[in-house]
Structure 1
Amino acid sequence: MNQDFYWVNPPQHWHREGDALLVTTDEKTDFWNDTWYGFKRFSGHFFGADVSGDFTFQVKVKAAFSALYDQAGIMLLADQDHWLKAGVELNDGAPAIGSVLTLGQSDWAPGIFPASADQFWMRLTRKGDGLRLQYSVDGKTWPLLRLAYFPADKQCAVGVMCCTPERGGLAVRFEDFLLVPALDKDLHDLT
């Protein structure tokens, strides 16, 4: 793991185990801006590194989701009003794979997660002003989760995030961090 990673809203309990990062979420943490709920939250845990230009970031996530809105995955962060978070989130008693893109206001795009959510992979590729977001249940096949616009002029950090808006205590293990030049694959190449 790159030593240039740093915390935004560090949790009370975290440690490194080799190249893995182990986190236990604090109580009532989240990232959200206004839409539907009418509140802003910027209390979630983010561990990232500054990036510029085009890149691909990938990570393996392990967690035991058990309460509404428990979530863990990846995040691209420019500032409190410009960010993307994506991963698994417990929603209506079942794990959902989804993303929240915030360009001033947040949106939420959840979908049914097609496997056990105790282990999964996330991948984000930034190419100019485009974001290609993928996930994997086996680390081999990478379906497209989202293709989105994100301002190319925004300086950003990329890394991992976890939140528990309804509680505290979600234990998350992030491993196999990979930050490399952008994988320039065809949009329908799922490798």
Structure 2
Amino acid sequence: MISGEWLNRPPASTQDGPALLVTAEKGSDFWRTTAYGYDRDSGHALLSPLGPEAAIEVSFVADYDQQFDQAGVLVRLDEETWIKAGVEYCDGVLQLGAVVTHKVSDWSSAPVPWTGREVTLRASRSGDAVTIRARAGSDPWRMIRLAPFPPGVPATAGPYCCAPERDGLTVRFTRVSMGPPDETLHS
């Protein structure tokens, strides 16, 4: 069973066996200022404590096709300090990306052919950084981001989803697990 405390409870969330189905509210998103000129802290995230030396993995099915639909993992200190990483549908293509926010957001992304596949995001927190890795199915892990994050402070993490542009996005989260951080940055 996938559990935690909701940051912005979604309109619907249902256990379906071991999976959690989450329906996002239209207009939900996490973003701060950069380029768009607005701050949004309305995305849906099911958060649990994430220690200073820990990792979280979130798996979900990337089965969506509307502009800015997104799902993945959120690591959060507060509304001005957080990292979201996942798969987002943008400009007609599914994109693997990360947004790192320290008062303002930045965004990096690249297209992936993962539509309809189970995707796993791994956020590994160690020292003053979070390393983000991703894969589809049992493909090899690929590192997508190494980002600064305040060391030694309490944080939370968990699955998130957002639907900035439409009603009706439902994401199937298939697994969430926590464990030790990655031993090295590179394999």
- 2:82 is aligned to 83
Mapping for residues 1-191 of structure 1, pairs under 5 Å? 1=1, 3=3, 5-184=4-183, 186-189=184-187
How many Å apart are 1:139 and its aligned residue? 3.0
Bigger drift between 145-154 and 65-74 goes to 145-154
How many Å apart are 1:117 and its aligned residue? 4.9
Aligned residue for 1:111, secondary structure, equals strand
Aligned length: 187
Structure 1 segments (4+ residues) deviating >4 Å? none
CA RMSD, 1 decimal: 1.5
How many Å apart are 1:174 and its aligned residue? 0.8
- Alpha carbons 2:29, 2:162 under 8 Å: kept: yes
Q: Percent identity?
A: 35
The answer for unaligned runs of 5 or more in structure 1 is none
Residues 143 and 53 (structure 1), Cα distance of their counterparts in 2 relative to 1, 3 Å cut: same
Q: Distance in 1 between matches of 2:35 and 2:130?
A: 24
The answer for unaligned runs of 5 or more in structure 2 is none
Deviations 1:78-108 (A, max 9, x none): 1100000010001110000000000000001
**Could you tell me which amino acid in structure 2 is paired with residue 31 of structure 1?**
F
- Alpha carbons 1:56, 1:182 under 8 Å: kept: yes
Normalising by the residue count of structure 2, what TM-score does the alignment of the two structures yield? 0.94
